[in-house]
Amino acid sequence: MPGTLYVVATPLGNLQDLSTRASAVLRTVGVVASEDTRRTGNLLAHLGVKPRMLSFHAHSTAKRLETLLAILADDRDVALVTDAGTPGVSDPGAELVAAARAAGSPVVPVPGPSAVATALSASGLPADRYLFLGFLPRKGVERTRLLARAAQEEWTVVLFEAPGRLADLLRDLAGPAGGDRQAVVARELTKLHEEFRTGSLRELGEYYSSQEPRGEITVVLAGTGVPAQPPDRTEEARDRALALLADGVTRREATQRLIAELGMARNEAYRLVMSL
């Protein structure tokens, strides 16, 4: 039988948040795959254990993945950990988990701390439904698209950001969402200088423009409270229907194509095609 890959959540800062089960796993496995071996080394030193540590991060080579899979194939257990929190949640891990499963290794989650859940729980904003966007791209079309998505989201939105770019993120969110939209900046969760600051995007942007933050940051943005309006695709649907009819497609088939390709309601697609 192959070894087991344990996906182990580790403390965000306070070492007392390490679960008894996570501690037991880290004390018994022979190999730990870590995003940052120095930070994980401190945790393992706290536990008084010295397993073999192998770095595994976003820029790891295919050879490192193969090494870890070979260890599992040799009936040796591996614990996957990240710098802090739960592996795979805006952190490396998904590739190894998928490969281990494909190779027949059991994958066992050992749940625990998560910056997303921790920030939501103390934000005071609704958390029954939420959208997690992680770190946004620094620039470009994809950043603009995700900023617009966050601004239009009905539910609470959670994002990660580096301290030096926090003021820019708050300002960029205020554009599409409006400066009065409420948000919470959670900083250094569970650590000595933990801070929650609540206010409008405008207020928070002004504050962090003059007071550059330090540490790890999670931003919780209030949702709109109303469903986002679907984009008006009437012109697109009309052009597509005209093209289909020009190609000799029957009206019935054109209607079916509009439903399948554009997600139109049947009655709406039928009325459009019959009007041409």
Range of the domain at 248: 234-274
132 & 160 share domain? yes
Going by C-alpha positions, the residue among 128, 192, 195, 124 that lies closest to residue 155 is: 128
Q: How many domains does the chain have?
A: 3
pLDDT grade, residue 42 (50/70/90)? very high
| pTM of the predicted protein model | 0.81
Least reliable range by pLDDT among 34-38, 259-263, 268-272: 259-263
Structure confidence by residue, pLDDT tens digits, 165-177: 999 999 999 999 9
In this prediction, residue 231 has a pLDDT band, given cuts at 50, 70 and 90, of low
Last residue of a domain, one of 85, 113, 141: 113
226, part of any domain: no
Q: Does 263 have pLDDT greater than 90?
A: no
Asked if residue 99 belongs to a domain, the reply is yes
CATH of the domain at 20: 3.40.1010.10
**Which band of pLDDT confidence, cut at 50, 70 and 90, is reported for residue 1?**
confident
- Under the banding of pLDDT at 50, 70 and 90, the label for residue 92 is confident
Query: Do 216 and 189 contact (CB within 8 A), yes or no?
Result: yes
Tell me the pLDDT tens digit for each residue of 206-227. Answer: 999 999 999 999 999 999 999 8
11 assigned to some structural domain: yes
